[in-house]
Structure 1
């Protein structure tokens, strides 16, 4: 069995407790069954033997005195309509009560009676459980047989067995339920730890474990929370450092950008190798400027608390972003009605802009932008006809400073490796996800999914 198909710890505890409860109850049920059934069976057999001994003395006395009306006596001795009395005499069989074929009685039982040995045996006669008692007759050559019904006892046994089986099954199910409940309560701190760790891994650095009253769990919660505090402080320090560096770079960068613009306008006057150096310099300055802006955006996003969210028409937002861009129009597909999301307009603007910029720089431009509604989610799709994204890089490209196969290259279209990281960060702040899939017909399709807001 693979690890993916194994039961969880909570269910393993529940199953073990259920099986243990089932085995224990089964043993107790067997003990109760054996004691109760054995006792009731012995009582019934002893009652049948005592009644037969009383009756055989009356029959023996009647035979000794030669009284007539033996048939009537046998009928009068029957204890109920299902009781049968048979009197075997040489060449004669007298019957009283319920009619039973004498041939159904075991020969060994009759031979014991003829030999003067009292005997008894449980039988099934006519689909009815009975107890046959054989007693010798002292004043005549014969055998007295009384067949006592055990139907009521059989019904009692059936009822008792049904109750014991039902109690055993119910005990097993109750054991599973109690095990599941106990496992859930015992593993609740572990579940809280998993949830808090998942939130931190997802970017929520303020996730903490609640205070624990259990002395065994208090050190765990304290250690985890102190580790999370240290991690949050380190991330904030790194973000502040990146922000400070970016701010310090803005002034010299502004001078460099202005100087590069002057060189770009005078490019026709600079021939040969110097001109190519100017082209390389201006492209690198542009890329450096975009990187500083992206770093400022990331550091601000890392340090900001969650902003006040508002209901935003995602379709209208995308229309406005595309209308403000230069270049050829991008085919747009809008759902009707347009989905609304609860979000920050500035960050969503940046998400749309970065995805379209990414398509323009690395895939020849976006060929389709769609705003759809799917399963309670607002979906933004940006298609391109570029080389696509390799399956092993479809997660990595959303990491900071990852530029895929373009890492180490230079040029105006290589990017800084921060645009898609910003997209992932902003989408995550909205409780959504972003991923890339293969576009039908070739190319890549970037898909953003954000929970749709109620209107």
Structure 2
């Protein structure tokens, strides 16, 4: 059964329990203890015998009739002093007894009543009471019957609730599967509960939201793709023109080659930006990238550390095992991190990996200036760059870490930034090997 039903069931049972307690307290305040009323009904035969047989006798026949009842009845009828019982009664019961009413003793399976108030039964009868005991009072049976009654009520309430919650739960599961699929990149996923379903209006609004998000993402991807492709043509023409200028005018003036080289660097930068944008848009279609088993250690060993002034070291723990993933994308993500570390490292940077159960940790460390704690979330956003002179002086467009994050998300992995033991920044990749 679904969790929704069990929550409803718990609420129904709690409501019945509270209602039972409230009914008992209310009836006790208004009409007396309901348990006493149950016991009175069970002792109705002995009460009838006392009131309609013994009490109907005259003064000289009252005691003989009482004795006859004692002989033939399984119940016990005894005469006791009134004064001995009064201190043990509540004020309400004491007044009822003095008025001649019957007082039920539930625990003792009996009842008390004054013989009379005028001394007409026998001499001193106004100071005595009659105590009937060993009566057929069984409160446990009565309570069991009440429990069965409430259990049947609960069952007949829970049956329609169970039927309704089952349909409601199936609709919620369908909606949950749709949101999970949509969140994982399947923009065609839609909720489909039938119209009579109680969550159909909510599902319709989810579908409307999904349609709008899908249209916006498609428009964004189409724009980036179109702009990137369109930029390649003028970039190619610029490259061709630069080559012609080098051939025709490169030797005319010594400053011209430097300017042509600078323009060539700018063109290469534009080409890199276009390629990065195309890679970023490609990662929005994970279904087109089939996963396969990957041996992690050879993949990390094949990652290329870019040349630079800092030294590079690799530390891999044994038995890293395999993961399911995309070799090209995972290599690209690691290489982006290594390139970032090489760019900011002063003297050294490193790549290390270890396994802890089903978790694989990959660390990229450097001894550079590090990343401020307040910017460690934002550096993964596209085109975000730290407001530091060193960052503005370095090449790049702020897309490397964004591409790295998307590539890792396709592997169900996460990436965090912390302080490195080397003194700079540590990028930690956590892969769940499921």
TM-score, scaled relative to structure 1: 0.68
Check conservation: 2:54, 2:62, Cα contact below 8 A: no
The answer as to 2:25 corresponding to 1:44 is no
The answer as to 2:133 corresponding to 1:149 is yes
Q: Decide which of 185, 206, 211 is 1:204's aligned counterpart.
A: 185
Cα distance change of structure 1 residues 391 and 129 upon mapping to structure 2, 3 Å threshold: farther
Check conservation: 2:174, 2:193, Cα contact below 8 A: no
Cα distance change of structure 1 residues 254 and 17 upon mapping to structure 2, 3 Å threshold: farther
The answer as to 2:201 corresponding to 1:220 is no
Q: Decide which of 405, 413, 416 is 1:424's aligned counterpart.
A: 405
Equivalence for 1:396: 378
Cα distance change of structure 1 residues 352 and 125 upon mapping to structure 2, 3 Å threshold: closer
Matches of residues 107-146 of structure 1 in structure 2 within 5 Å? 119-122=100-103, 129-135=110-116, 141-143=123-125, 145-146=129-130
Q: Output one character per residue of 1:380-408: Cα deviation in whole Å (capped at 9) or x when no partner.
A: 21112222222332222112111222599
TM-score, scaled relative to structure 2: 0.70
Equivalence for 1:297: 279
Equivalence for 1:240: 225
CA shift, 1:23, in A, is: 5.0
CA distance in 2, matches of 1:401, 1:42: 86
Equivalence for 2:70: 77
CA distance in 2, matches of 1:125, 1:19: 28
Secondary structure at 2:303 match in 1: helix
Q: Output one character per residue of 1:293-314: Cα deviation in whole Å (capped at 9) or x when no partner.
A: 3233224334574322111111
Equivalence for 1:66: none
Structure 2's unaligned 5+ residue stretches are: 90-97
Cα distance change of structure 1 residues 175 and 362 upon mapping to structure 2, 3 Å threshold: farther
Matches of residues 355-434 of structure 1 in structure 2 within 5 Å? 355-364=337-346, 367-374=349-356, 376-406=358-388, 410-411=392-393, 413-434=394-415
Check conservation: 2:175, 2:191, Cα contact below 8 A: no
Cα distance change of structure 1 residues 421 and 203 upon mapping to structure 2, 3 Å threshold: farther
Cα distance change of structure 1 residues 302 and 105 upon mapping to structure 2, 3 Å threshold: closer
Secondary structure at 2:43 match in 1: helix
Q: Which has the higher contact order (CA 8 A, sep 6+)?
A: 1
Matches of residues 302-313 of structure 1 in structure 2 within 5 Å? 302=284, 305-313=287-295
CA shift, 1:379, in A, is: 2.4
CA shift, 1:170, in A, is: 10
Q: Output one character per residue of 1:323-373: Cα deviation in whole Å (capped at 9) or x when no partner.
A: x75466533232331132111111111111100001111343763322222
CA distance in 1, matches of 2:159, 2:44: 43
Check conservation: 2:360, 2:430, Cα contact below 8 A: yes
Secondary structure at 1:60 match in 2: coil
Secondary structure at 1:119 match in 2: coil
CA distance in 1, matches of 2:160, 2:215: 40
Q: Output one character per residue of 1:155-206: Cα deviation in whole Å (capped at 9) or x when no partner.
A: 41x5544765797699889989987996685476567556655655x56152
Q: Decide which of 293, 311, 317 is 1:335's aligned counterpart.
A: 317
The answer as to 2:77 corresponding to 1:104 is no
CA RMSD of aligned residues (A): 5.1
Check conservation: 2:235, 2:267, Cα contact below 8 A: no
Cα distance change of structure 1 residues 257 and 428 upon mapping to structure 2, 3 Å threshold: farther
Aligned residues: 407
More displaced 10-residue stretch of structure 1: 401-410 or 413-422: 401-410
Equivalence for 1:89: none
Q: Decide which of 350, 353, 359 is 2:332's aligned counterpart.
A: 350
